[in-house]
A and B are shown apart, each in its own frame.
Chain A
Amino acid sequence: MRLGDIARLVRSKNAGPFILTIDVMVADGATFDRVVGSGALDPEKIAEIYGVDPGTIVSFVLREALTIKVSFPRDVPSGSLGDSDVYGCQYMWRLAGVDIDDARSA
């Protein structure tokens, strides 16, 4: 089961030109616990799928809002040479495609 199939919304956007922020929003507490429990949003997993230093990842697990937010520095600042996503909005595909039944990193 992909995270994107079970979540209400997975979106990414710049938080300023140098930082990417990803929101994962689910419909209910049971799904929230399942997603958090899967490890798909652990810093180690985010680091692995996005190729970032885990020490640069900032996460918020917000059960009252049924939202998990992870942020990390962009690989390339918005609009810099070599960028392919000025708004940062299509970085989300890697996380949306993670298999939450098999997410624990090696």
Chain B
Amino acid sequence: MTGAAPLRPVRVLSATGMLGTGFLEASLERGIEMGALAIGCDAGSSDPGPYFLGSGKLSRAAKANKRDLELIVRAGRRAEIPVAVGSAINAGADAQLAEAIRLVHEIVAEHGLSLQLAVIHSELSREWLLAANREGRVRAMPGVPDLDEDTILGTAHLVAQMGPEPYGAAFDAGADVVLAGRSSDAAIFAALAMRLGVAAGQAWHAGKVLECGAAAAVQRLHPDCILASYDDEAFTVELPNSNMACSALSVRAHGYYENADPFHIHEPGGMIDTTASRYEELPGGRVRVSGSRFVPADRYEIRVEGSRLAGYRSIAFAGVSDPILLDDLDNFLATCQEQILAKCRESLSIEHGRDYRFIVRRYGSPAGVQEPGETHKIGLLFEVVAIEQALARAAAAVAVHTALHHPVRGWQGLVSNLAIPFSPAVFDGGPVYEWSVNHLVAIDDPIAPFRVVGPRQVTGEFIDAAW
């Protein structure tokens, strides 16, 4: 780089912490004005639980996702800068990625855009993981049991978090917009920065700050954009929205969020080491971070997530305020549960443990006086998870009806115990999933597990099979 004219400062814009949660259009525009050379956005997370990977459904409405995606894609085209959206959408399963591709087709058609789209799949076959397991390339994340073949075979959907390499390949091949399945959050932004010549340590640590959008602010008023500027030794973050600001503490503390170890953050292919990172406040609510390192691992490992069907759920919720019942609540619930299990066996021929599980969660304290504004003194949430939806519904109905008239020690005569807020009392929750895989898999090629489709021009209607 010696002897060359100074290049434009390298800047990467993060649109928001989670696609679909919104950002101010003015903040995105300001970030572009400030010289963003790329726009990234994280569109997924495992935080909302195993349901989304298991079912392939979306947690945020298509409309909300589209609003954000439309602004990002249009801004990228106007400024002629690359756009990367990762973990699109939610869990990054193929069915959810297809939704993101469909939205881009709509956006292109509605606004007459011209763009080269590349799509990167992150969904893996069970056979892929079985082979990795047999070859001894799999190890469990902390707190997770080791993998066995039955667990793999019983998993509904598997995805792996990709690193920056598949993004790099897609952009190198001429993509304007990359929609990727499950990704390391930071990798989305590390990929954009490293393509612009930024060193790995800064690119990765900045990625970790950028991926949550304005969450690194002292006080995040609402989801919003954040911009990173990179020089030879450091990166500087700032919020395009001047109503919010970062501090050295807020940026440092943001690195603690959702990480067990704030100094060593494991990523595909290595680890972000922040032990020597220094956080310096600059005027204008900006923070300059230097000293961050990326330490490549001996073996490139990717984190694989999997979710399996655990049954079907039905619930009912009711309030209780009867002080005589509440004086004896533990005994009431214990004896009531015995009746429920017996009735399910008699009337439905189902066994607790084998065919269904029944759980009661209590909310509120039975002791003390009911306060104004409390709907009822305590809440009881009845839950049944069963091998079939119809059985779950039937067992939940048995639970409600049994509890409704279960005798109360201290009252003589037929009682009715539950303040049920709705008709019907029982709600079907549909299929229930559990995390079955949360393991690291050693691979030789960082791109091979992730099928890159395109880049190609987006025209006409979205055809799933074409992507």
Q: Which residues of A contact B (CB under 8 A)?
A: 13-19, 21, 23, 25, 56, 58, 60, 62, 65-67, 69, 71, 73-74, 77-82, 84, 86-87
Contacts and interface: CB of A to CB of B under 8 A. Distances in A.
Contacts of B143: 18-19, 56, 73-74, 77
A45 to B, nearest CB: 18
B261 A58 contact: yes
B128 interface: no
A71 B256 CA distance: 11
Interface in B183-218: none
B262 A60 contact: yes
A60 B262 CA distance: 8
Given A18-B143, A19-B143, A81 B432 contact: yes
B295 interface: no
Given A14-B258, A21-B260, A71-B260, A81 B438 contact: no
13 contacts: A19-B260, A21-B256, A60-B262, A67-B253, A71-B261, A78-B47, A78-B50, A78-B435, A79-B51, A79-B434, A81-B311, A86-B48, A86-B49
A67 B248 CA distance: 13
Nearest to B434: A80
Interface of B: 46-51, 141-144, 249, 252-253, 256-263, 310-311, 357, 359, 361, 385, 432-435, 438
A77 B224 CA distance: 30
A80 B253 contact: no
A17 B262 contact: no
A62 B249 CA distance: 12
Contact of B252 (A19, A21, A65, A79): A65
A23 B253 contact: yes
A18 B132 CA distance: 22
A78 B261 CA distance: 19
B436 to A, nearest CB: 10
A41 B262 CA distance: 17
Contacts of A82: 357, 359
A95 B261 CA distance: 19
A30 to B, nearest CB: 17
The 5 A-B pairs with the shortest beta carbon distances in the complex, nearest first, are A79-B49, A73-B143, A71-B260, A18-B143, A15-B260
B256 A69 contact: yes
A62 B359 CA distance: 40
A81 B310 contact: yes
A13 B223 CA distance: 18
A26 to B, nearest CB: 11
B438 A16 contact: yes
Nearest to A70: B260
Nearest to A65: B252
